[in-house]
C-alpha cells in the first residue's frame, strides 16, 4: 500500500565518536542505497534528558550533521532533516497521546533502566515518560515500513506497531467503508476480484498468512486502483477498517561493538572515546597510551591479548594475519605493547582520513550544511503533511 521507507534518528548530545560509526552509521550508509531513507536529528528528544541545560543542543545538531556527511551519508540518496523543523511530529505526538494508555509507556523496559542509570538527573517529567510516544510519532508520521534498531530497541518498535494498530482500529472506520471496499473490489476485474475474495476468506477464517501476503502483493500490482481504493482494500483484507498509520517492521542491524579506550563501551561520559573527526595526533596519543594486560609489567613479560583492551580494537580493525601476529607476539613477549598498538593506530587514521576530507568543505562553508538540511526539512515536511491530512480527517479535525 505504501512504499518501503526507512526512518531513523539520533539525539544531538555532543560530538559523534567511532562507536556511533560502527554501531549505526555504517548501517545507514549501506541502507541509503537500498531504500528511501530519512535520517533526522532528534533535537526534541535531547530535551528529555537535557531540558535544564539545552545549550549543547544547537551546536551539537550542526556538528552531528557534518559528522554524518563526513561518514558517508549522501544527501543525494537520503533525506537529512531536523526533528523540530517539522512541527507535524509534535502534532501527531499530541494526537496519539489522547488515545495511548498510560500503562503502555510505563512498561517500556528502557524507561526504568534510564531512571536508574541517570539517577543524577530529575527525570520525573512527562517528556521523559512520553519519549517513546514521540519516538513513535517520528516514525509513524512518515509511514515508515522499516526501522533499523539493535535488540534493545525492539520493544519500542513493538509499541509503535501497537499504537498504529490502535489508531487504525479507533479511527479507520469511515462511513460506508464496507460498501466502498466492495465497489473497489469490482475495479480489480472479475478474475482478480474473485481471487481477492478467496484470499480474504482464507486469511480471516483460517489465519492463512500466505493468503494475506499474496493478496497484498496483488493489490500492489493493481494499476487500476486509486490510492484511496488501494488503502480501503488493504484494510478490508484484515478487517473492516482503512489503514491510516503503517505498522513499521523491525530491521535488526548488525552492529560492530567498538569498545572504548579502556575496554568498556565507547562513551563520551566515560571519557574513553575517539571522535569521528578527531585530530590525528590526538588519536595516536590516545591509542598509544591505552591500558594493556596488567601482567605485562616489563617488555620481557608475556601477555594475554584476551585480557587487553587493545585486542578488542584489533578484532574490529585488523585482518587475520595481523591478529595472528599480535597473538603470537604478545604471548611470547616477542613484541612490545607499542608495537602491538601501531596497526590499530594506522587503521583508525586510515578510516578517518576520508572523513576529514569530506567534512572540510562543510567546515569551511557552513551554508552548505544549512542548505542540505533546509532541503531535507522541506522534503520531510511534505511527507509529514500528507500523513497529517489523513490523520486529521480520520479524527474529525479536517476543517475547510
From the annotation, which residues make up the binding site?
11-13, 19-20, 138, 150-152, 258, 265-269
Among 61, 37, 80, which residue's Cα sits nearest to residue 253?
37
Exposed / middle / buried, residue 27 (Cβ in 10 Å: 0-12, 13-18, 19+): buried
Among 289, 255, 296, which residue's Cα sits nearest to residue 274?
289
Coil, strand or helix: which one is 113?
Answer: helix
- 277 with 252: CB under 8 angstroms? no
- 342 with 45: CB under 8 angstroms? no
The annotated binding site for L-tryptophan is made up of 138
How many angstroms separate the CA atoms of 74 and 57, rounded? 23
Among 256, 252, 251, which residue's Cα sits nearest to residue 22?
256
Kindly tell me the number of DSSP H helices and DSSP E strands found in the chain: 19, 5
The annotated binding site for ATP is made up of 11-13, 19-20, 150-152, 258, 265-269
- 288 with 300: CB under 8 angstroms? no
* Residue 113: Cβ within 10 Å count: 11
Amino acid at each position: 500500500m505504501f512504499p518501503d521507507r526507512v526512518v531513523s534518528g539520533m539525539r544531538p548530545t555532543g560530538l559523534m565518536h567511532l562507536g556511533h560509526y560502527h554501531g549505526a552509521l555504517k548501517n545507514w550508509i549501506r541502507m541509503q542505497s537500498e531504500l528511501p531513507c530519512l535520517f533526522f536529528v532528534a533535537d526534541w528528544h535531547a530535551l528529555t534528558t537535557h531540558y535544564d541545560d539545552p545549550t549543547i543542543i544547537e551546536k551539537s545538531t550542526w556538528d552531528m550533521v557534518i559528522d554524518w556527511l563526513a561518514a558517508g551519508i549522501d544527501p543525494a540518496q537520503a533525506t537529512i532533516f531536523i526533528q523540530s523543523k517539522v512541527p507535524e511530529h509534535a502534532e501527531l505526538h499530541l494526537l496519539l497521546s489522547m488515545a495511548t494508555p498510560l500503562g503502555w509507556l510505563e512498561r517500556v523496559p528502557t524507561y526504568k533502566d534510564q531512571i536508574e542509570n541517570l539517577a543524577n538527573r530529575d527525570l520525573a517529567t512527562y517528556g521523559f515518560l512520553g519519549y517513546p510516544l514521540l519516538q513513535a510519532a517520528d516514525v509513524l508520521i512518515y509511514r515508515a515500513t522499516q526501522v533499523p534498531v539493535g535488540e534493545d530497541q525492539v520493544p519500542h518498535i513493538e509499541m509503535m506497531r501497537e499504537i498504529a494498530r490502535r489508531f487504525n482500529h479507533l479511527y479507520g472506520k469511515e462511513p460506508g467503508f464496507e460498501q466502498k471496499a466492495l465497489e473497489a473490489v469490482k475495479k480489480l476485474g472479475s478474475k482478480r476480484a474473485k481471487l481477492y475474495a478467496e484470499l480474504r476468506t482464507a486469511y480471516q477464517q483460517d489465519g492463512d498468512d500466505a493468503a494475506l501476503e499474496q493478496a497484498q502483493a496483488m493489490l500492489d500490482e493493481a494499476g487500476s486502483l486509486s490510492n484511496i481504493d488501494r488503502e480501503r482494500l488493504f484494510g478490508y483484507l484484515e478487517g473492516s477498517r482503512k489503514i491510516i498509520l503503517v505498522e513499521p517492521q523491525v530491521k535488526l542491524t548488525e552492529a560492530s561493538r567498538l569498545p572504548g579506550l579502556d575496554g568498556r563501551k565507547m562513551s563520551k561520559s566515560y571519557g574513553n572515546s575517539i571522535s569521528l573527526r578527531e585530530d590525528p595526533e590526538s588519536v595516536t596519543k590516545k591509542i598509544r597510551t591505552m591500558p594493556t594486560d596488567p601482567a605485562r609489567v616489563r617488555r620481557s613479560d608475556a601477555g594475554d591479548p584476551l585480557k587487553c583492551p587493545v585486542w578488542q580494537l584489533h578484532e574490529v580493525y585488523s585482518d587475520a594475519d595481523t591478529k595472528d601476529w599480535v597473538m603470537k607476539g604478545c604471548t611470547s613477549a616477542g613484541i612490545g605493547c607499542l608495537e602491538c598498538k601501531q596497526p590499530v593506530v594506522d587503521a583508525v587514521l586510515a578510516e578517518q582520513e576520508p572523513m576529514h576530507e569530506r567534512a572540510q568543505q562543510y567546515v569551511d562553508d557552513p551554508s552548505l550544511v544549512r542548505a542540505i538540511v533546509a532541503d531535507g526539512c522541506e522534503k520531510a515536511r511534505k511527507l509529514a503533511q500528507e500523513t497529517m491530512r489523513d490523520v486529521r480527517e480520520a479524527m474529525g479535525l479536517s476543517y475547510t
